[in-house]
Structure 1
Amino acid sequence: MKIEGSVALVTGANRGLGKAYTEALLARGAAKVYATARDAASITDPRVVALRLDVTDPASVAEVAEQAKDVQLLINNAGIATGAGVLDGDEALRREMETNYYGPVRVARAFAPILAANGGGAVVNMLSALSWLSLPNTAGYSASKAAAWAATNALRLALREQGTLVTAVHVGYIDTDMAAHVDGPKVAPGDVVAQVLDAVAAGQHEVLADDTSRRVKSGLSGDLRNMYPALT
């Protein structure tokens, strides 16, 4: 789809990658950008339409869908990482699943008829290289992103007939607050966003935004011990 002149909505748009999305969309000539966050007052860019959205709250999602019936491009970016391990109890795991899996599914479901009415458009789901790989302190996050990957594949098929492109984005660590504790290679938010918007414009279904995501995906067909050396 064409970015210039389009109407877009970005979840989790008050900082980090979400803010980078809003800025890039405006720079590429989007006619309107809805920037959403749980605290709409945290969005201060006067060029966007700031809306309160809690992706874990069905009523909040429904309210935003009522306010933004002209959306053509939906970017499901909102997400959390608690650092919970698989043996750490249910609370953090549920929070990650509610935000990272049910959240984008809920938002996509609400906006599917809106996208159809506006010509099809596109949905972007921000996933992760951790959709395919779990680390000791990413068990909850990885599980939620793996579920979101499966949902994205299903969504792509479900929305195909109405002409909606669904693009999955996999990436390793991005240089944002979420990965501030990580000592390792990180990709700049602007680089990720540029790749994603180019992919949407070209009608591509998947973006592997860095070497980490490409390496992890290629390893899925190999010996499990290559992915998890501790098993050797």
Structure 2
Amino acid sequence: MKIQDAVVFVTGANRGLGLAFAQEALKQGARKVYAGVRNPDGREIPGIVQIKVDVTNSASVKAAAEQCEDTTLLVNNAGIARLTDDVLGPEMIEGSREIFETNYYGTIYVSQAFAPVLARNGGGAIINVLSDATWFARPVLAAYSASKSAAWSFTNALRLAVRDQNTRVLGLHVSFIDTDMTKALDIKKINPRDVAQAAFAGIENGHDEVLVDDFTNKLKQSLSTQEPLYFNPPEVA
């Protein structure tokens, strides 16, 4: 499908990568962009309509889907991350529950609500924002990594489930992005606009998966080898 003339719904779109998706969609000629946000702030950005949605609440998600029934491209971007001091510590359990509510169950809620909308509009596409953490579980991001691995598995199942309704599902894998989520980390970061552009190019070129950066590509390529990178990564953040 083409981004031009698409009606795009982006979750977690108040800032960071979500806002970059919304802005890039407009730049590429989207007819309308819905910015799904937990707490609308009243900002008026030409071409972008803020929609109140809490991806962890099924009723909120259903209401957003009913309000945005002309959507043809869904971007499941909403996500949270928490640093883990000790993967064997008690905070690992509660932290994992919190993260899974948004990153995994939230993706399911939104996909379930919007897939019928896309079908009624002829098919369309879904972009699920994943991570290099899908395959490389840094100890400080152990819970986040587990949620992204689960979301990857769901993405692969969803792709097959909606294929007959002419809906394409793209899994977007990327390393650290320059957003508020990573501002405290002194590491190389990717511009969120570049990530959005790569994802939209993948949709337009009919790809099922997009690996944005060099490290993510090397990591994925190593999975079938005797010594995948996650055994002995170059550095553990």
- The TM-score normalised by the length of structure 2 is 0.93
SS in 2 for 1:227: coil
| Alignment partner, residue 169 of structure 2 | 166
| Alignment partner, residue 147 of structure 2 | 144
CA deviations 1:45-76 (Å, max 9, x no partner) are 24211111110001110110110100000000
Alignment of 1:1-232 (within 5 A): 1-41=1-41, 43-84=43-84, 85-87=86-88, 88-224=91-227, 226-229=229-232
CA deviations 1:142-183 (Å, max 9, x no partner) are 000000000000000000000100000000001111111222
Change (3 A) 1:229 1:78: same
Provide the rounded CA distance (Å) in 1 between the counterparts of 2:42 and 2:187. Answer: 29
SS in 2 for 1:78: coil
- Kindly indicate whether the alpha-carbon contact (under 8 Å) linking 1:14 and 1:43 is maintained by their aligned counterparts in 2: no
Following superposition, the deviation at residue 186 of structure 1 comes to: 1.2
Provide the rounded CA distance (Å) in 2 between the counterparts of 1:155 and 1:35. Answer: 23
Q: Which moved more, 1:165-174 or 1:89-98?
A: 89-98
The aligned amino acid for 1:86 is V
Which consecutive unaligned segments of at least 5 residues does structure 1 have? Answer: none
Following superposition, the deviation at residue 41 of structure 1 comes to: 1.4
**Superposition RMSD on alpha carbons, in Å?**
1.4
Which consecutive unaligned segments of at least 5 residues does structure 2 have? Answer: none
- The TM-score normalised by the length of structure 1 is 0.95
The aligned amino acid for 1:112 is A
CA deviations 1:91-140 (Å, max 9, x no partner) are 21101111001111110111111100001000000000000110111110
Following superposition, the deviation at residue 33 of structure 1 comes to: 0.5
Provide the rounded CA distance (Å) in 2 between the counterparts of 1:30 and 1:225. Answer: 40
Following superposition, the deviation at residue 199 of structure 1 comes to: 0.9
Q: Percent identity among equivalent residues?
A: 48
